[in-house]
Structure 1
């Protein structure tokens, strides 16, 4: 599947557990909504992804990507060390200057 460069980098950094490179995909003021929690700014996002990587060891297999204007939706099969693995999740991306400004993960 052909993904835009930013989205491909987002997936790659998740799948290699590179929290620094993952965080670099986001703007300084980005907001992440996941599992009922909100993480604001690169520092909080880095802590969130490091904790998620440690707890779940999840990897994404992109299934579909749609983009409209400054918004994109990545549908991916996510597998890892969590109950119910694998599952299909949607990653709703707000895009800004070739970076992710917002991310909301839904099931």
Structure 2
């Protein structure tokens, strides 16, 4: 069976990705961390965070540093366990607005094992 790749509806994203996005939008750090594998890796703004404690620290810092809103632009399936979500952010961060690509890679247990956030 061939896996569908390409643009998908948000409702077709895995529940763990949708849960991450909902929790991230409302700055619910415990729920975001619960979507991640214990040794997950997050890459954002040129830095890499590995493991729950480091990722929790990154989330708490970014949540307190800037105020912003997000608008979902689109979603895409790259393969069996890889998805990209594009979000438009507007806020008080340098530049004021940006489209960010959130690339999710799920692990064998259905958690987010890797997340890369980049323009």
Q: Shared fold by TM > 0.5? A: yes
Residues 1:61 and 1:4: Cα distance change in structure 2 (over 3 Å)? farther
1:80 aligns with 2:85: no
Residue aligned with 1:6, SS: helix
Q: Which residue of 2 aligns with 1:15?
A: 25
Task: Report if the CA contact (8 A) 2:17-2:104 is conserved.
Answer: no
Offset from partner CA, 1:24-79 (integer Å, 9 cap, x none): 11000100111111100011000000100000233432211112211111111122
Please point out which of 38, 41, 56 is paired with 2:51.
Answer: 41
Does residue 105 of structure 1 match 2:117?
A: yes
Q: Is the 8 A contact 1:64 1:74 kept in 2?
A: yes
The range that moved more, 3-12 or 30-39, is: 3-12
TM-score (normalizing by structure 1) = 0.91
TM-score normalized with structure 2 length:
0.82
- Residues 72-93 of structure 1 deviation map (CA, whole Å, 9 limit, x = unaligned): 1111112232022221010111
* Separation of aligned partners in 2, 1:39 and 1:12: 21
Instruction: Indicate how the Cα distance of structure 1 residues 57 and 98 shifts in structure 2: closer, same or farther if over 3 A, else same.
Output: farther
Q: Which moved more, 1:34-43 or 1:62-71?
A: 62-71
Q: Are the aligned partners of 1:15 and 1:58 in contact in 2 as well (CA < 8 Å)? A: no
Q: Tell me, which stretches of 5 or more residues in structure 1 are unaligned? A: none
Whichever of the two has the greater Rg, that structure is: 2
> Over the residues paired in the alignment, what is the CA RMSD in angstroms?
1.4
